[in-house]
Amino acid sequence: MSEEICYLISDNGSYRPEATFSLRSLAERLGKKVGETIHPVSLLHSTKISSNKLNDIPAEVFESFVLKKLEEGVRRFHVTPMFFGPTAAILEYMPQRVEVMRATWPDLQVRISPCVVDLDDPGDERMAQILIDQIHASREKCGFTSPSIALVDHGAPRIKVTEVRNHLGEQVRRLLPECEFPQVVACSMERRDGDEYAFNEPLLERVIGTEGFRNEIIVSMLFASPGRHAGPGGDVAKICEEAAESHPDLQWQMSELVAGHDGIIDILSDRFAEGQASDPVSWEGEIPNWEAPK
């Protein structure tokens, strides 16, 4: 059995090649920062992308990648999540798959670093500053005078993820000068039906067109990489385009995505170090059922 540690950076995964290229860039940049080889391994989906769209290098997903390494004798893994908050993918899906693999390889060890935003460290404003840098760049690009900010995430079935969105919204609101950016609203792209998911409100489509969001709007993208939702032609852009049809004075601009900002590597390297100092994860008791995202 090898004593080496296999290091991964993981996102949720996408059917879009651009998302895999983005994760590969993060892995390379983080690897240079921490002095280790970091493997870009999504949790799901990405192996559906034809390798000829990925420079003939197939994408990897978590379970099949770990199984391959286990066959090679590797037993120790360290995952750095490219997730802003504690999603079900990290807290439910990954534990389920690890426990299944442990039935065959009981000496499998997995460390998981904390997610990007730590709500227990409210003084850490680095993620908010990344969003602010991209807001300023969008304003300069469009020549807006006093745009309102809609800080949008995907929307999640776990309230802790929405708490991260709201926390960042509060930081961005505090750090941006109100005279230049009159409103900052944290919102979601979508939500599940039912009152139990109302914490995702407001939705972006319901923010656009309200007072202060009828003219200049910068959509601050709390998304890591381009995919079906983020980037040109994605769901967020479609929401804005449809809103513009009903509001002829509306001018909108989406910010760049988080993975392209150099500052994310500083945060990820700190999370990597925190994971290094932690014990291997031991999931005790019943692991919650997990529903794959559509």
In a domain, 294, yes or no: no
85 shares its domain with 192: no
Parent domain of 233:
126-260
**Residue at 262: amino acid letter:** D
In a domain, 284, yes or no: no
- The conformational region for residue 146 under phi > 0 = left, psi -120 to 50 = alpha, else beta, is beta
216 pairs with which residues across the strands? 251
- Per-residue pLDDT at 184 exceeds 50: yes
147 shares its domain with 97: no
pLDDT confidence bin for 292, thresholds 50/70/90: very low
272 shares its domain with 224: no
In a domain, 134, yes or no: yes
Q: Tell me the per-residue pLDDT of 200-258, one tens digit each, with 9 for 90 and over.
A: 999 999 999 999 999 999 999 999 999 889 988 899 999 999 999 999 899 999 999 99
140 shares its domain with 234: yes
Q: Tell me the per-residue pLDDT of 9-56, one tens digit each, with 9 for 90 and over.
A: 999 999 899 999 999 999 999 999 999 999 999 999 998 999 999 999
Strand ranges, E, within the chain: 2-10, 38-40, 74-81, 109-112, 148-153, 184-188, 216-221, 251-254
- Per-residue pLDDT at 1 exceeds 70: no
pLDDT confidence bin for 289, thresholds 50/70/90: very low
**Helices 263-276 and 17-34 meet at what angle, rounded to 10?**
60
Neighbour-count burial of 96, counting CB atoms closer than 10 A to its CB (0-12 exposed, 13-18 middle, 19+ buried): middle
107 shares its domain with 19: yes
Q: What is the pLDDT of residue 288?
A: 44
**Residue at 173: amino acid letter:** R
144 shares its domain with 256: yes
Q: Tell me the per-residue pLDDT of 120-179, one tens digit each, with 9 for 90 and over.
A: 999 999 999 999 999 999 999 999 999 999 999 999 999 999 999 999 999 999 999 999
In a domain, 95, yes or no: yes
26 shares its domain with 72: yes
**Residues whose CB falls within 8 Å of the CB of residue 238, separated by 6 or more in sequence, listed in order:** none
136 shares its domain with 232: yes
99 shares its domain with 143: no
Under 8 Å between Cβ of 53 and 29: no
Number of domains, the chain: 2
**Residues whose CB falls within 8 Å of the CB of residue 143, separated by 6 or more in sequence, listed in order:** none
pLDDT confidence bin for 282, thresholds 50/70/90: low
Lateral strand order in the sheet of 148-153: 184-188, 148-153, 216-221, 251-254
80 pairs with which residues across the strands? 9
pTM of the predicted protein model: 0.92
In a domain, 29, yes or no: yes
196 shares its domain with 75: no
φ/ψ of residue 221, rounded to 5? -90, 105
In a domain, 217, yes or no: yes
Parallel, antiparallel, or unpaired for β 184-188 and 109-112? unpaired
In a domain, 288, yes or no: no
In a domain, 286, yes or no: no
CATH code, 100: 3.40.50.1400
133 shares its domain with 253: yes
- Dist. CA 66–CA 137, nearest whole Å: 39
Q: Tell me the per-residue pLDDT of 60-114, one tens digit each, with 9 for 90 and over.
A: 999 999 999 999 999 999 999 999 999 999 989 998 999 999 999 999 999 999 9
250 shares its domain with 268: no
